[in-house]
A and B are shown apart, each in its own frame.
Chain A
Amino acid sequence: MKARTVLMSVLLFLPDRIGAIAGNVATALVQIWANKARSLLTVLGIIIAVTSIITVVSMVEGFGNYVTSFLRGLGTNMMVVYPEAMRGPRGEFLRQAEMTIEDIQAVDAHATAIRRTSPVIWNSATVEYGRQQLARVSLRGTNEFFQAIRNFYVDAGRFFGAVDVDSGAAVCVLGREVLRKLECDESVVGDYVHLDGQRFQVVGLLESKGSFMGENQDEMIVIPWTTAVKMYPYARKYLAFYVEAVRETEIPEAEGQLVRILRQRHGLRAGDRNDFGIFKQDQVLQEFHKIRVIATSVLAGIVSISLLVGGIGIMNVMLVSVTERTREIGLRKSVGAHRRDILLQFLTEAVVLSTVGGALGIALGYGISYVASLHPSMVPVKVPIWSVALALGFSASVGIFFGLIPAFKAAIIHPIDALRHE
């Protein structure tokens, strides 16, 4: 019975409260609209802060999604091992470390955590097909395991096999972008192209993977590594190779094993640095994490300074507003406004002002993200909903925090003094 009475009184009271707050919001909007230019200048800091939040967060997020999906496409239990450029104590270049097919075979034979390996030679070549010519196309020499290790398959024709690799056959697999630029269709399979003047038979076409960090993965030609070595004999001593661990969880074990084998084969002593490098996916993630931390700290700096500036602006304009409207405050008090009514009115106005600034910032941030995403080499960006909530939360808090002093000042004005105010 008692609970029911309380509930009833709350239900009867609540609409009045909501009405009062809605009234305050309406008053605040009228006030803001009446001083458009002043209000806009006041919330400039907030707009900058929120625009920064939305833009930077959306780009960092878009970039993060992009990196993650790229790595997933790369195959998650893959590493790349490459000979390192040896440098002296002052960073000067000494010599290029060597890596031979024997090294790779030793790793393949003795590292139990490694399922398979694939030598890789990076180069670029000029492609000719009919009258079309295409310079500086990425050329990759590798073996028959490339598809499985790189998670990158042909979807027309076939990939070259072990026989082709062993014999150093003049066969190649083309990426889709090469196909497009040569202005031909899938009928090129079985036909011949010239790579740096040598005749190659096209045996297959790679599936489309899109580009990563400005490098188009589809603008690529894959040939047997043995064939590549014939074309570029110096590459024989500087091979890199892909490594596929037996499982994703075995990557650290695989790394340890190959490091031991290679150090032993290269005659490195205990204190010597590795003369080869290992590229792992978590390295990419770490690099990306660094970028994210930097972007976030820069963002935090911009946001805190501009929120502070915006907050002070709001406080300033609210203090002016309180002074300007002293008579109004006196009148409101004389017709029955309590201190908390006046406090709430001015606090609402500050919050509405800062939230309007926040909304403008969100719109601007969306706009900038959208325009940026139109650029062809830009990653797709998406504004996460939590960043919008964060931005609005920030701007409303700034309104509350910096609106409190002016609102309190308004609330304690004595009605007689207020009505005498000129």
Chain B
Amino acid sequence: MIADVFAPAAPPVIELIDLRKVYRVGTELVYALRGVSLAIHENEYVAIMGQSGSGKSTLMNILGCLDVLTEGTYRLRGQDVSKLSQTKLARIRGRQIGFVFQSFELLGRTTALKNVELPLTYTRARHRRQRALEALRRVNLLDRAHHHPNQLSGGQKQRVAIARALAQQPALILADEPTGNLDSVTGAEIMTIFDSLYAEGQTIIVVTHEDDIARHCRRIIKLKDGQVLSDTGESRPPPAAGTGAAGQAQEAAAAP
């Protein structure tokens, strides 16, 4: 809808139209999402907040193409992904979405570098090693490339996980409580990394229930009972001139 008004040159990264999700638990129907519509554009930095049961986990799963919706439309970079098969969703997850999880989810028996390469092996990308090293460099962890996860601190593990999310140069980074397992100092460090990635032009969505974390973001979407309660902050579609200028403007705005 916003897209209609501004008629931008590029489609939004995410466009949800009247999204609904109904679960069946036993004989009971659970309405997890009841008509969510929103658009998230290139290089936005969004926090999705809400109490447990607000539908934020369901929304995240759908945004990450881990789950399918019941009704409505979901367009990812203009492509309708609402009714795709598991195989096609797996392909989209591999190429478009970089997940960052609360508990890191690193493979313990292999090095940080191999962990970062993992998404690239599934998409059979070329130059995996260089790309993985580049991703590690962006999270400032190049010197730990050949360490195993058990040799890394919690903050370092999460940085490896972020590098893994970056490796594929995804359209979107989707972080689910990324600081939930970290102390506040380390958590702040992780958020600084997200800040700098945002400054470099990355589109980021952080699902969180902490105000301190959400404060890093430029836009805060609050959910309640499966609907958008509030949508505050900057929601800027890129001007017709292109994303490069927008990125610079964003960088200026991001400066504290």
Q: Give A contacts to B, CB under 8 Å.
A: 16, 19-20, 23, 27, 30-31, 34, 327-328, 330-339, 341, 415-416, 419
Contact = CB atoms under 8 A, between A and B. Distances in A.
B109 A30 contact: yes
A412 B61 CA distance: 17
Contacts of A23: 121
A34 B109 contact: yes
Nearest to B67: A416
B86 A339 contact: yes
Contact of B90 (A27, A31, A330, A338): A338
Interface stretch (B75-83, B93-101, B178-186): B93-101
Given A34-B109, A327-B105, A335 B118 contact: yes
B238 to A, nearest CB: 27
B7 interface: no
B53 to A, nearest CB: 15
Given A23-B121, A30-B110, A415-B66, A336 B105 contact: no
B124 A337 contact: no
A346 to B, nearest CB: 15
B249 interface: no
B91 A336 contact: yes
Nearest to A33: B109
Contacts of A341: 122
B79 to A, nearest CB: 16
Interface in B121-145: 121-124
Contacts of B67: 416
Contact of A416 (B66, B91, B107, B110): B66
B219 interface: no
A415 B66 CA distance: 6
Nearest to A16: B124
A338 B89 CA distance: 9
B64 A334 contact: yes
B226 interface: no
Contacts of A34: 109
Contacts of A31: 109
A383 B69 CA distance: 61
**Contact-residue size bin, chain B (C-beta under 8 Å from the other chain):** 20 to 34
B164 interface: yes
A351 to B, nearest CB: 19
B34 to A, nearest CB: 20
Nearest to B101: A419
B119 interface: yes
A34 B123 CA distance: 27
Contacts of A419: 66, 101, 105
A240 B44 CA distance: 107
B27 interface: no
Contacts of B61: 416
Interface in B48-83: 61, 64, 66-67
Contacts of A328: 105, 107
A327 B118 CA distance: 15
A27 B122 CA distance: 14
A341 B123 CA distance: 11
A336 B86 contact: no
Of all A-B residue pairs in the complex, the 5 with the closest CB atoms, nearest first, are A336-B94, A335-B119, A336-B122, A331-B105, A16-B124
Contact of B91 (A327, A334, A338): A338
A332 B118 CA distance: 8
29 contacts: A16-B124, A19-B124, A20-B121, A30-B109, A31-B109, A328-B105, A328-B107, A330-B105, A331-B101, A332-B122, A333-B66, A333-B90, A334-B66, A334-B99, A335-B93, A335-B94, A335-B122, A335-B164, A336-B95, A337-B90, A337-B94, A338-B87, A338-B122, A339-B87, A339-B90, A416-B61, A416-B66, A419-B101, A419-B105
Nearest to A336: B94
Contacts of B119: 335-336
Nearest to B122: A336
A337 B101 contact: no
A16 B105 CA distance: 25
Nearest to A331: B105
Contacts of B64: 334
Nearest to B119: A335
A336 B93 contact: yes
Most buried by B among A20, A336, A337: A336
Most chain B beta-carbon neighbours within 10 Å: one of A27, A34, A416: A416
Given A34-B109, A416-B61, A419-B101, A336 B87 contact: no
B23 to A, nearest CB: 11
Nearest to B109: A30
B160 to A, nearest CB: 12
A363 B124 CA distance: 37
B25 to A, nearest CB: 14
B123 A336 contact: yes
Given A335-B122, A335-B164, A337-B90, 17 more contacts: A16-B124, A27-B110, A30-B110, A331-B101, A331-B105, A331-B107, A332-B118, A334-B93, A335-B99, A336-B93, A336-B123, A336-B168, A338-B91, A339-B86, A415-B66, A416-B66, A419-B105
Nearest to A34: B109
Contacts of A19: 121, 124
Contacts of B109: 30-31, 34
A247 to B, nearest CB: 70
Contacts of B123: 336
A331 B119 CA distance: 10
B67, B86, B87, B95 pick with most chain A CB within 10 angstroms: B86
Nearest to B123: A336
A230 B110 CA distance: 88
A327 B104 CA distance: 11
Contacts of B124: 16, 19-20
A121 B95 CA distance: 91
